[in-house]
Chain A
């Protein structure tokens, strides 16, 4: 299997007045046409890893890596212009909350068409037809009506589906989903995940699924990376999750209250300083 993405010793640091904050400290992994989950709590560097790959890290941050290679392109030396051409076209990202990530003053249809026409030479009528087909593919029942709506006129689940449609329309090779369902209701979460699952399988793209929910990630991905304090503490196949070795992974698995288990008080993570070394 050829690697779509190779990340070796990725470091992201933010200079601040009170010293440098290292958000990502030496992350290495490779990704083929598979689903990779990145799990960790707030501040573990999981989102910054995704953003560094997308090229969305704030300009004052410092990114270093031994290798950061996407399909033969060295992302570290690529110009801003070429990275911009890749974003949305070959690399796409779904963000957490459709309320903030969609443009509030543009109709959903126009935003999808804009993505397509930025990256491909295509007539307006064709772009519209593709956008409508894409909205249908994310199971929006009346694509014509939703096409003309503004983001505030649709529900969270519908907005997130529109977001998925927008990200998939240019047929990217790699999709990064950063907490794509955390802002949605549990019942809607499953619908959105099912759509994402089907489309990723049909189109054969690589997927990086970033989430704080270990169980959700393990049910959705082939492989899971667990991050703590900017480092990878454990990498394992999703089916091996019950046999996780690192105490942090075990702690994350145990601390969730679930239906049918009666544990009072809940086991709490005992953070060890050596995990962060």
Chain B
């Protein structure tokens, strides 16, 4: 344990921690200006998450797709790529898992559930592979192509639902129980929250990212290509193939995130007229988590907690839930301006010496 602690560079931890504190402080100032009680607001968030099983369960439930989306972004980032297409990969993953569950509803659970999860991952993989191919073959920048793929995903899934899997309420039918991740056990444990077994998948994904990137030869190659395509080429690695692989893997994580929503939280898919935002929040989660597996878990927990707790904040302290989005935005803003924080601390510690 002490060896692990020694490895941690405390300076790098400084930025996310200070950013979170500053974000919360600024949020408090805004509340004060508008005339709310920030102490009561934050208190209600903390109390609900930690003392009320329902909100605790909902927080973990909200963490699942956020973590998977965050892992997707962080994985790509570690290999030198910006996957802005997590949202789209998540949508196709969601759709594929639900469609698979509905189409093969006669299969037993041991087959149908893994199959539906795999379908979600595979759809996400495809959605990541296409921008990877475009980049490797035609040097199309992945930021542009993945953004475009988001829109294609949004409208394609809407079209497919409308024409093939439509049921009343602008959505697909509910998936069969044989494909569901929901659990009465977990729900009872948390006083009726929507917590489902998907958290197991999310934990496996976190482990997979760590193991894959740092413990396997493929991961070594992916990171090498991400840091320096030139040196990798000179060392005999296949740069194009690694770019395609990286975005494909990233897409799998994102697709699984969608599958968790389809098979776990909602049990169906609605016709989305706008993005869910989970994919984009994934970018924030990865950023705040310093693109490390453990960091993604922690920042995923923070964002999920804020979002879930925001609802009690509204009911108990009367603070509009939109403020949570402002706080999250502020945290991201401070992480982004990490240079300023480093500079300020440098000044402070220098003064301390004199």
Q: Are A and B a genuine interacting pair, yes or no?
A: no
A residues near B, CB below 8 A? Answer: none
